[in-house]
Amino acid sequence: MAELIREMSLKNHYYYDEEKCEFIPIEYKRKEQIIYNLSVWILTGVMLAGLGIIFLSTKIGSPAELALKAENEVLYKQLESTKSALLVLDKQLDDISKRDNEVYRSVLGLEQIDPEARQAGTGGNDPYEEFDVYNKSTAELLRWTASKVDNLERRLSIQKLSLEEIKNQYNINREEMSHIPAIKPGSGILLSGFGMRYHPILQYSRPHNGLDFRAEVGSPVYATGDGIIKYAGRRGNLGNVVIIDHGFGFETLYAHLSRFESGIKKGAKIERGQEIAKSGNTGLTEGPHLHYEIHLNGTPVDPLQYLFTDTTPEEYTMFREIAETNTNSMD
């Protein structure tokens, strides 16, 4: 383009002389030549500027389009952040629903709610087709977000009704509830769960009928529900134990104790939260800890299902993960 402009500005121009039958060069005055050259350059500059504006508008966008694009990118990132937050809420609600079925409704004798019923969706026409006007990735993210919010709202509504039912049943069974073993027997973290576990000393797998909690020798051990002392003494590999009869078919066992608190003997009345002993390392153990069992109508049950009075949802979830992943026991 620059070479063409240079040639246009430098080459001569001619006119045809009919009398001489030849082309005669046009002679411009210097001023006319300068004006002509400037005109060519200005016209060319205008053309190039126009082409540049067209190129930038199509490839980059106008200022208004650039601002809108930046705003859309920010909104998309906010949607991605919202998606992450909704996934966290979804998991927490799953944990609450599971605990609602396995613990609260189970303890109160209420029928469990079918997990599929908790996830109930909506039928009919597509409620999110309005998002199809956006590009594919944005439309999919908007659809997912709206669908997840609707799902959480429905599940929360079902959970609210369930908690109302639990509250009413609790008020009816208030006396029984104080006897149900519903708190942690100590302050330590869970080490091992209920079920088949590998014994570190005997070196084979066998049923582990309770939970093992971390507890240094001399740590307080608490009764997990109102009841009467059924046994306090030595019992084989369990070392020093306390057994409490809570009534309503419930008994609890606390093992490997170092000593009993004053007045802890057969027939003594106990209240939930009362200190009954100090933890220890008696019996056949790998180290100091507290072994805790719950028996319902003579059968060992998973105590984790009954830790609902003083255990947060986050702590309960952590305990469950430990119980599901740690395949060894302490005793």
Check residues 31 and 328 and name the one with the higher pLDDT: 328
Q: Which helix (H) or strand (E) holds 161?
A: helix 136-172
Q: pLDDT at residue 300 above 80?
A: yes
Residue 270 CA to residue 303 CA, distance in Å, equals: 19
CB 60 within 8 A of CB 54: no
Specify the pLDDT at position 4: 45
Name the pairing type of β-strands 275-279 and 250-260.
antiparallel
Q: pLDDT at residue 6 above 60?
A: no
- CA dist 283 → 2, 97, 230, 256 (Å): 98, 39, 20, 6
Q: In the predicted model, what is the mean pLDDT of residues 21-39?
A: 63
Q: In the predicted model, what is the mean pLDDT of residues 71-98?
A: 81
Specify the pLDDT at position 2: 47
CB 176 within 8 A of CB 219: no
Q: What is the pLDDT of residues 119-171, one digit of tens each?
A: 766 666 778 888 888 888 888 888 888 888 888 888 888 888 888 888 888 77
Q: In the predicted model, what is the mean pLDDT of residues 96-103?
A: 78
Specify the pLDDT at position 303: 94
Q: pLDDT at residue 87 above 80?
A: yes
Q: Residue 239: CB partners within 8 Å, gap ≥ 6?
A: 255, 256, 257, 280, 281, 282, 283, 284, 285
Specify the pLDDT at position 134: 80
Specify the pLDDT at position 122: 61
Q: pLDDT at residue 200 above 80?
A: yes
**Residue 309 has which token pair?**
């009075």
pLDDT-above-70 percentage for the chain: 78
- Whole-number average pLDDT of the chain: 83
Supply the DSSP symbol for 89: H
Q: Mean pLDDT lowest for which of 56-70, 189-203, 209-223?
A: 56-70
Q: Mean pLDDT lowest for which of 61-65, 239-243, 316-320?
A: 61-65
